[in-house]
Amino acid sequence: MVEAILMMLGLGAVCGTILGIASKVFYVYEDPRIAEVEGCLAGANCGACGYAGCSAAAVAVVGGQAQANVCIIGGPESAQKVAAVMGLDPGTAEPLRSLNTCQGGKRAEDRFYYTGVKSCRALAAFYGGKRVCHIGCLGYGDCIKACKFDAIHMDPKGYPVVDEVKCVGCMACEKACPKEIINVKSMSQRLLELNCEEDALAPCRQTCPAEINIPQYIAQVREGDYEGSVRTIRERNPLLLACGRVCPHPCESYCRRGLEDEPVSINQLKRFVADLEMNSGKRYPITCAPETGKRVAIIGGGPAGLSCAYFLRRVGHHATIYEAMPKLGGMLRYGIPEYRLPKKVLDWEIDGILNLGVDYHTNVKLGVDFDVGSLVSAGYDAIFLSVGAWNDYNLNIDGEDLEGCFTGIDFLSRIGLGEKITIGRRAAVIGGGNTAIDCVRTLIRLGAREVYIVYRRTRREMPANAVEIDAAEHEGVKFHFLAAPVRVIGDERGHVKQLEYLKMELGEPDASGRRRPVPIEGSETRLDVDMLITAIGQAPDVSFKSDVTRLKDLEITRRRAIAHDPITMQSAIPYIFTGGDAATGASLVIEAIGAGRRAARSINQYVTGQKVEAPPGVLYGRHIRETLFEHVEGVRRKPRAKMPELPVDERIHSFAEADLVLSEESAVAESQRCLSCCRLCYDPDVSKVA
Amino acid sequence: MGDYIVLAISCILVNNILLAQYLGNCPFLGTSKKMETAVGMAMAVVFVLVMAGVITWIVNTYILQKYDLVFLQTIAFILVIAALVQFVEMFLKKSIPALYSGLGIFLPLITTNCAVMGVCLINMKEEYNFLQALVASFSYAVGYGLALVLFAGIRERILLARVPTPLQDTSIALVTAGILSLTFFAFKGMV
Ligand SMILES: Cc1cc2nc3c(=O)[nH]c(=O)nc-3n(C[C@H](O)[C@H](O)[C@H](O)COP(=O)(O)OP(=O)(O)OC[C@H]3O[C@@H](n4cnc5c(N)ncnc54)[C@H](O)[C@@H]3O)c2cc1C
Ligand code: SF4
């Protein structure tokens, strides 16, 4: 007997000692809160929460993937304890809500008849389902059967609709859906989702660089739910007033309706609902997730910076913007002129973002007034560099620095700042992009008599928005195409007098498929001008890179942009992220907004201790091949809504807004032209009429 | 050599720990709903069983038998196996995080799984030598994995079948397990 007791004690002691030593030797740092949280759970290891046992659930809670109320057995008591450990208020912890993503048009066609059990799951096991569309909803409502709270019902079109009030986020529907169409996520998770190959996406939505749910916001306009429409846009784009005015809408070139008819005027509908909100005098409320206590510094208050700040704020982090200019807005304020985007509108929009609790400091420049080291010591957890592209390229020709010569951004930003610049009578602008067009249209409004555009290639190759080129032409701008400036000639007082250029002709196509202009020998021509603006593109100003203590490892590309991963937007330094023109070189507002959101997603991963990585199958910049049709049936031609404009002679004498907003009637009519596409399905006009 | 092959076959098929001896049923039903989980579990079982088989053989031969304390077998084994699994878990977490994240969640589940315990006790009852105990433990574990994976495959199919409501889920799984076990009885005469 004694032996047995001794023996068991001995064995126990040996095991205990070994384990004790092992726990020291093999110690892996773990957030101490994990153990604390685990202590608050029921400890049954039952797995009902969907995690492999209580420890796994605790890890998920601390990692932010699970909510305080994760434990099914523990109930509200455990939720309260967990919330206390995590420093969350259980009442405000972000609720999970279920949402069905497949809401396309008319059902995708059936591929085969199925007479087995009426359940999505069984059906899905056969070649992924009976529908032609491999992500499409099967419509047998397994999610409805799975829901214990009666929160899902089938709408007449056969798609499950979730009642957000009844939904408790228990995940039962998500688990029941074999096609991963219905999913349960928190607001933050939805705000930071990226388009992926397997998602239910209309072609326009795949194209939008900010990934706005276009068919949904159009459907909401159609149903008269204008507030809902604004909300849908705000899930992806906080600058809808600005985009509604200046976006060149790449989405519309992929609109399915455009295959048979004119594309839906997607952007004007955005402007319509956005203006409606502004003019209603009140702001639709925007909700933010509970504070996380993480702080992010944002350098540059242009669209990229504002978008990043907005999304970070909404998912609960604290964002502070540092801006070099006196006011926020970046190129929206200092590049794009008043007649395209009134400052009053811009101010209203930016105030909406700042109202969420975003801090900002203006008139402070990175590299001059502060550096990255000071941000790090101020305790910021991550930094977002969105300094834009503000350095004009030079032509590198003689006489470029004569009096009366300007560069594009310099000229526009000085006008934007309210500076008075003496305008010539005959002005030439060199370049074919948005900046050049904005310069000429501004010059006309400032009273120049003759305004020329001098461009190396032809009108077809001009990168500016087509509508803008037309508008400039209507306003009286003269174009000199196929003209390559060779020198600027000054008068005796050092003032610009003439521009000499060579005529060009189009030669062989180059690598990009554009025919390259080649100079015609001896075709020198002189143009009399007394003012000259060079607007041939701009590059980011990365002079702050001279800070070698902190930014030694920051990589700069050949085109002077900040090197980054195009999805995570992380730079070569892990805690520094970038986006917008600073990362890509001069691009579009909507691209900057999308980049701001992608960066916010990665910054969220970074500051919450997750791995910064792109989701598998991320779609950014690509299309899902099967969704691009050759043609669509059942489309009845209906002309696209015409954009109302200020008459030419009225607009060339003032900076009043030139493009106007659609009337409610034409907006609703326009929304009815949308085919409500999903991947394969769409609503033919015929069925809508019938 | 031949003996070992016979031993292996008898442990994998004839005396399959799950379907012939009916040990380790809870994870058999619990983790066989999805192929992925089943495979994860099978790997973890192979891992733990081999370790447990070896260590319990050592404890039994050099401690219990030596001091004539074989009656303490059960309780001593529980202690040793539990400590072993804990140790392995810590070790993997630190040294082979990839393997840990693959097996990790299943390891604690099988700490005191009856199949593990059962195999160790059978090894002792049959008075295997060290090599035999090793081969037997490994083979039993492979048999366990085989049955689990087969069963998971069947259960994924059953989802498509029209099962009467009262028989759905666990009940049909048990009926199926019974039939599957009958088929394994066909190996009875082999060894
Ligand atoms: C004249 C013009 C017309 C355009 N028209 C259109 C159009 O019609 N449609 C369209 O989609 N796009 C248009 N664009 C492009 C669009 O404006 C830009 O792509 C977009 O503004 C880029 O946003 P961003 O946030 O990256 O940079 P920016 O808007 O350039 O903002 C960068 C901000 O960072 C600040 N900053 C810079 N350096 C520092 C520093 N060291 N420290 C602190 N702050 C700093 C700047 O002051 C600025 O506020 C136009 C651009 C120009 C120049
Ligand atoms: S018809 Fe509507 S949903 Fe389809 S591509 Fe055009 S705007 Fe998008």
pLDDT tens digit sequence for B138-166: 999 999 999 989 998 998 888 777 788 88
Asked if the A29-93 domain carries CATH number 1.10.1060, the reply is no
pLDDT at B102 (0 to 100): 63
Which residues on B lie below 8 Å from A26 (Cβ)? 90-91, 93-95
Which residues on B lie below 8 Å from A28 (Cβ)? 93-94
| Residues comprising chain A, all counted | 690
pLDDT at A127 (0 to 100): 76
pLDDT at A508 (0 to 100): 82
Mean pLDDT of chain B, nearest integer: 84
Binary contact (A53, B109; C-beta < 8 A): yes
Search chain B and give the residue with CA nearest A115. Answer: B162
Taking the Cβ of residue B191 and every Cβ of chain A, the question of whether any pair is shorter than 8 Å is answered with no
Q: DSSP alpha helices (H): ranges in A75-115? A: 75-86
Task: Write down the domain spans for chain B.
Answer: 2-189
For residues A169 and A152, what is the distance between their CA atoms, to the nearest angstrom?
12
Q: How many CB atoms lie within 10 A of CB A648?
A: 12
Ligand 2 atom with minimal separation from the A256 CA: 5
- Interface predicted TM-score (ipTM): 0.75
| Nearest Cβ partner for A28 among B67, B76, B94 | B94
Ligand nearest the Cα atom of residue A677: 2
Which residues on B lie below 8 Å from A125 (Cβ)? 156, 159-160
| Nearest Cβ partner for A117 among B95, B108, B162 | B162
Distance, C-alpha A422 to centroid of its chain: 38
| Nearest Cβ partner for A15 among B79, B93, B108 | B79
Is-contact A485 A499, C-beta < 8 A?
A: yes
Q: Which amino acid is at A203?
A: P
Search chain B and give the residue with CA nearest A47. Answer: B30
For residues A227 and A92, what is the distance between their CA atoms, to the nearest angstrom?
24
Ligand nearest the Cα atom of residue A363: 1
For residues A666 and A663, what is the distance between their CA atoms, to the nearest angstrom?
5
Q: How confident is the model at residue B103 (pLDDT cuts 50, 70, 90)?
A: low
Identify the CATH number of the domain defined by range A391-539. 3.50.50.60
For residues A240 and A232, what is the distance between their CA atoms, to the nearest angstrom?
11
For residues A449 and A451, what is the distance between their CA atoms, to the nearest angstrom?
7
- Among B29, B56, B72, B106, the strongest candidate for a mutation testing the A interface, having the largest count of A CBs within 10 A, is B72
For residues A295 and A415, what is the distance between their CA atoms, to the nearest angstrom?
35
pLDDT at A25 (0 to 100): 82
- Which residue has a Cα nearest atom 5 of ligand 2? A255
pLDDT tens digit sequence for A415-459: 999 899 988 899 999 999 999 999 999 999 999 999 999 999 899
Taking the Cβ of residue B69 and every Cβ of chain A, the question of whether any pair is shorter than 8 Å is answered with yes
Looking at chain A, which residues constitute the CATH 3.50.50.60 domain(s)? 295-379+553-607, 391-539
DSSP annotation string for B15-70: T-TTTTT---HHHHHHS-SSHHHHHHHHHHHHHHHHHHHHHHHHHIIIIITTTT-G
- Which residue has a Cα nearest atom 8 of ligand 2? A204
Cα-based angle A413, A418, A419 (whole degrees, multiple of 5): 80
Relative orientation angle of helices A664-671 and A266-279, to the nearest 10 degrees? 140
| Nearest Cβ partner for A19 among B76, B86, B109 | B86
Which residues on B lie below 8 Å from A8 (Cβ)? 72, 75-76, 79
Ligand nearest the Cα atom of residue A205: 2
Which residues on A lie below 8 Å from B91 (Cβ)? 22, 26
pLDDT tens digit sequence for A319-370: 999 999 999 999 999 999 999 999 999 999 999 999 999 999 999 999 999 9
B114 burial class (0-12, 13-18, 19+ CB within 10 angstroms)? middle
Taking the Cβ of residue B162 and every Cβ of chain A, the question of whether any pair is shorter than 8 Å is answered with yes
- What is the token pair recorded at A573? 């330094």
**CB pairs A-B closer than 8 Å:** 66
Report the separation in Å between the CA atom of B6 and the middle of ligand 2, taken as the mean of its atom positions. 68
Search chain A and give the residue with CA nearest B37. Answer: A52
Low-confidence ranges of chain A (pLDDT < 70): 44-50, 52, 72-73, 75, 87-94, 687-690
Nearest to A648 by CA among A659, A639, A635, A640: A659
End-to-end CA separation in angstroms for chain B? 15
Report the separation in Å between the CA atom of A303 and the middle of ligand 1, taken as the mean of its atom positions. 7
Report the separation in Å between the CA atom of A289 and the middle of ligand 2, taken as the mean of its atom positions. 31
- What is the token pair recorded at A246? 């200046």
Taking the Cβ of residue B33 and every Cβ of chain A, the question of whether any pair is shorter than 8 Å is answered with no
E strand residue ranges, A300-356: 318-322
CATH C-level class of A96-186? alpha beta
Nearest to A353 by CA among A281, A283, A416: A283
Looking at chain A, which residues constitute the CATH 3.30.70.20 domain(s)? 96-186
Q: How many CB atoms lie within 10 A of CB A253?
A: 12
pLDDT at A366 (0 to 100): 94
Containing A509, the helix (H) or strand (E) segment is strand A496-509
Match 């702050």 to its residue by tokens: A544
- Which residue has a Cα nearest atom 10 of ligand 1? A588
Strands A450-454 and A478-480: parallel
Cα-based angle B114, B117, B118 (whole degrees, multiple of 5): 80
Instruction: Name the residue of A218, A262, A629, A640 whose CB sits within 8 Å of the most ligand 2 atoms, as the mutation to test its pocket.
Output: A218
Binary contact (A15, B80; C-beta < 8 A): yes
Say if residue B188's pLDDT is above 90.
Answer: no
End-to-end CA separation in angstroms for chain A? 92
Pick the CATH number of A193-284+624-690 from 1.10.3210, 1.10.150, 1.10.10, 1.10.1060: 1.10.1060
Search chain A and give the residue with CA nearest B59. Answer: A11
- Which residue has a Cα nearest atom 30 of ligand 1? A388
pLDDT at A559 (0 to 100): 87
DSSP annotation string for A557-577: -TTSPBP--TTT-B-SSTTEE
DSSP B189: T
A496 burial class (0-12, 13-18, 19+ CB within 10 angstroms)? buried
For residues A593 and A575, what is the distance between their CA atoms, to the nearest angstrom?
20
- What is the token pair recorded at B166? 């009262």
Search chain A and give the residue with CA nearest B70. Answer: A4
| Nearest Cβ partner for A18 among B87, B93, B106 | B87
Looking at chain A, which residues constitute the CATH 1.10.1060 domain(s)? 193-284+624-690
For residues B44 and B62, what is the distance between their CA atoms, to the nearest angstrom?
27
What is the side-by-side strand order in the sheet with A382-385?
Answer: A359-361, A318-322, A295-299, A382-385, A576-578
Query: Per CATH, which fold does A295-379+553-607 belong to?
Result: FAD/NAD(P)-binding domain (3.50.50)
- What is the token pair recorded at A39? 């202590």
- What is the token pair recorded at B118? 């059962």
pLDDT at A590 (0 to 100): 96
Handedness of CA A179, A185, A189, A190 (dihedral sign): positive
